[in-house]
């Protein structure tokens, strides 16, 4: 099979993403996505809920509605996982590839360093502080 130049995802990547889904389940993967990409995670969760909710409006039993939601979240997680693996294959020998590896390895983002209070805002004496110092 001829692979187009712009193709990122191969069947093996889909199979690997499906194996991850089978091992971890759709909801832990969605939680991981929400940590890494909050807007995307929220969108996927809400969209799957809306679509699955339509089955309930049509009279489907609760188990069916839950199953549809789980299948939708799983489908999206497999697609995103395969695209991430494909992106890594393209960028693996670059700094971008290192970021993709961190995302695939479920690394938590490094905490941001907090600025010292003196650097972030000038100190302002409060009324209480002036009273303690004996100033008016």
Alpha-carbon separation of residue 31 from 34, 71, 80, 107, 109 (angstroms) = 5, 16, 13, 13, 14
The whole-number average pLDDT for the span 99-106 is 64
Q: How confident is the model at residue 106 (pLDDT cuts 50, 70, 90)?
A: low
Number of domains in the chain: 1
127, part of any domain = no
133, part of any domain = no
Least confident of 47-51, 75-79, 114-118: 114-118
- Where in the sequence is the domain holding 62, given as residue range(s)? 11-109
130, part of any domain = no
For the chain, give the mean pLDDT: 79
2, part of any domain = no
69, part of any domain = yes
- In terms of C-beta density within 10 A (0-12 exposed, 13-18 middle, 19 or more buried), how is residue 63 classed? exposed
Global pTM? Answer: 0.67
79, part of any domain = yes
89, part of any domain = yes
15-63 pLDDT per residue, tens: 999 999 999 999 999 999 999 999 999 999 999 999 999 999 999 999 9
The whole-number average pLDDT for the span 100-116 is 53
92, part of any domain = yes
């Amino acid at each position: 099979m001829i692979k187009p130049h712009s193709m990122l995802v191969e069947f093996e990547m889909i199979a690997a993403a499906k194996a991850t889904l089978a091992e971890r389940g759709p909801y832990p993967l969605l939680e991981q996505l929400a940590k890494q990409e909050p807007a995307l995670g929220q969108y996927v969760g809400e969209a799957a809920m809306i679509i699955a909710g339509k089955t309930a409006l049509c009279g489907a039993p609760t188990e069916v509605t839950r199953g549809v939601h789980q299948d939708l979240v799983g489908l999206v997680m497999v697609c995103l996982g395969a695209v991430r693996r494909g992106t890594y294959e393209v960028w693996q020998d670059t700094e971008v590839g290192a970021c993709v590896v961190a995302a695939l390895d479920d690394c938590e983002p490094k905490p941001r360093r907090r600025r010292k209070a003196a650097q972030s805002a000038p100190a302002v004496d409060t009324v209480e502080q002036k009273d303690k110092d004996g100033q008016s």
